[in-house]
Amino acid sequence: MGAVRLYAAVAAGGFRRYATYRTATAAGVFTNTVFGLILVYTYLALWDERPQLGGYDQAQAVTFVWLGQALYATLAIQGGGFETEFMERVRTGDVAVDLYRPADLQLWWLANDLGRALFQLLGRGVVPFAFGALVFPTALPADPALWAAFFVAVLLAMVVSFAIRYLVALSGFWLLDGTGALQALMVTGVFCSGMTLPLNAVPGPLGEVVRVLPWAAQLQMPADVLMGEAHWAHAFAFQAAWAVALLAAGRAVQAAATRRVVVQGG
């Protein structure tokens, strides 16, 4: 119970930390709304030419856009979560303090990132999503059970997102400059998650590949659960499998990285 209270306090601290950036949050809401509008009209034109692209009708395509804008910062799809701070702490040697804490390093940063993600969902994601649902025809369900399944899928997506970024952040133990790794994270995040185009609409072998990668657990699975395109049990199993695999990989890499830690600057 003491450990639960500890990580709950870390998550609450992450939530409060991001809640202090009110101006940045307001700017993010505006930015996501504008990008949502651009994408919606682009998708409407595309779906006029290709009806039922990826198995979606226009209302589902519009819904996918606004879900993407709601989850963009929540899941740190192009970065912007804990990973930059973590890599900087490795570079400066401050990670030594983290390793001496009476807490698990991975769970500490997971709790911190979940607090950040929850704030971004409420503070930056709700308004653009509500705006899109009010202004455009969407495919939102009336069944409360689907909404409950969707929120579970979002929670699992948060864990998968963290696990991906934690592996990237751990590269800082070997790379003194993590800029390249973070840029690779940005590129793969925006394409492989479906932010550019729903993964259902990606054709050929490339589509088959991206739909089984862990990034599909971030946006595609929650969207399909909400719109009834995927059964919740299948989505949860896919997301949970990737979450477990990636967290286990992160723990193995963490063990290798901290076995012989050299603290920069002493």
Which ranges of the chain have pLDDT less than 70?
A: 1, 260-266
**What DSSP element (H or E) covers 87?**
helix 83-92
CA 227 to chain centre: 19
Is the whole-model pTM more than 0.85? yes
Q: Are the C-beta atoms of 115 and 12 separated by less than 8 Å?
A: yes
Residues 138-164: tens digit of each pLDDT:
999 999 999 999 999 999 999 999 999
SS3 42: helix
pLDDT recorded at residue 264: 53
Length of the chain: 266
Residues 16-52: tens digit of each pLDDT:
999 998 999 999 999 999 999 999 999 999 999 999 9
The Cα–Cα gap between 57 and 51 comes to 6
